Amino acid sequence: MELVTSILAIAIRAGTSLVYATLGEIYTERAGILNLGLEGIMLMGALSGFATAYYSGSVALALLAALAVGAALAAIHAFLTVTMRANQVVSGLSITLFGSGFASFLGQRLGPISNNHRLVGLSGPRIAPIGVPGLSELPVIGALFTQDILTYALYALIPLAWFYLYRTRHGLNLRAVGEDPQTADAMGVDVFKVKYLATIAGGALVALGGAQLSLSYTPGWSENITGGRGWIVIALVIFAMWNPARAVWGALLFGGINAVQFRLQASGTTIPAGFLNMLPYLATIAVLVAMTFWESLSKRIGAPAGLGNAYMREEK
């Protein structure tokens, strides 16, 4: 029981960044915009979060900085794909290429002179886990209550995100834009505005997921701190079938893989670390294949019909 509780606790900690990013990307994709820039946005979120925390000493400011940076990068994607009608795949890729290059640049430039301008190897303020008195001692579900504030915020954010998407007028408009922008436009929805807002808000959440890495999960800045999480999230959105309420399961699955990796490595397994480290990536492929196969059986897993297409008013 101890073991299960501790693995679950690590899985939740490891999964938190994934849930934030998954929620963000669900919003973006629901408006018909595929953002493959997540890896770059998460890296920039992790970097700006850590750098802000290091210099200001304030975790709250750090989270705000990450949100702003994520929103700004996503705004570039929105401008290129919505206004300039650029290919969404290539635009997302350029956000990732730019974001990872820029984060690496800043990581070697923003640090103090004493550390040769580098941010690597510094320790700054971090978000510590807080146990909820009483609840945290319970077996198994106690794991839910030994987390940090970002995880606790998710317990409220997930139902809210679901409610917003399925039970409000705004959520309906958002889904309509992603499904069929022509009709949404005819109904009087400002398609461009919805796409912009969903992309920018989504990017902000994704960056928050990145900041959770550098402020809580693996505190500090290191190059490639995300380790492909931004890409895994693209698969998790499919796994969640574009529904915020289901975003936790994929994140728990991948957080669980991380936790098991930790456990096995700590217990001195004979499986080489390299093969253990392949697990999340192989699991991502497995998830994709399984979801695609399931889609071929039941016809529809909920991908917004207008996902990936540029919308042009003139072509009505």
Q: Minimum distance from CB of 227 to another protein (Å)?
A: 8
- Residue from the set 4, 58, 60, 109 that interacts with another protein by CB under 8 A: 109
- Indicate whether 231 belongs to the interface with another protein (CB under 8 A): yes
Angle at 172 between CA 16 and CA 211, to 5 degrees: 20
Q: Minimum distance from CB of 273 to another protein (Å)?
A: 8
- Indicate whether 166 belongs to the interface with another protein (CB under 8 A): no
Q: Minimum distance from CB of 59 to another protein (Å)?
A: 25
23, 233 in Cβ contact below 8 A?
A: no
Q: Minimum distance from CB of 246 to another protein (Å)?
A: 18
DSSP state of 124: -
Q: Minimum distance from CB of 252 to another protein (Å)?
A: 19
Residue with smaller CB distance to another protein, 205 or 235:
235
Residues 242-261: x/- map of binding to another protein (CB under 8 A)? --------------------
Residue with smaller CB distance to another protein, 193 or 313:
313
- Partnered with residue 120 across adjacent β-strands are 221
User: How many other CB atoms sit within 10 Å of the CB of residue 142?
Assistant: 19
Long-range contacts, stretch 297-301, CB < 8 angstroms, 24+ apart: 301/238, 301/241
- Residue from the set 284, 304, 306, 311 that interacts with another protein by CB under 8 A: 284
Question: Burial code of 245-277, b = ≥16 C-beta within 10 A, e = fewer?
Answer: ebbbebbbbbbbbbbebbeeeeeeeeeeeeebe
Scanning the chain, the segments in alpha helix (DSSP H) are 2-30, 38-56, 59-78, 88-107, 149-167, 169-179, 181-186, 191-212, 229-239, 247-266, 273-298
Rule CB under 8 A: which residues touch another protein? 36, 76, 79-80, 84-87, 89-91, 93-94, 97-102, 104-105, 107-109, 117, 228, 231, 234-235, 238, 272, 274-275, 277-278, 281-282, 284-285, 288-289, 292-293, 296, 312, 314
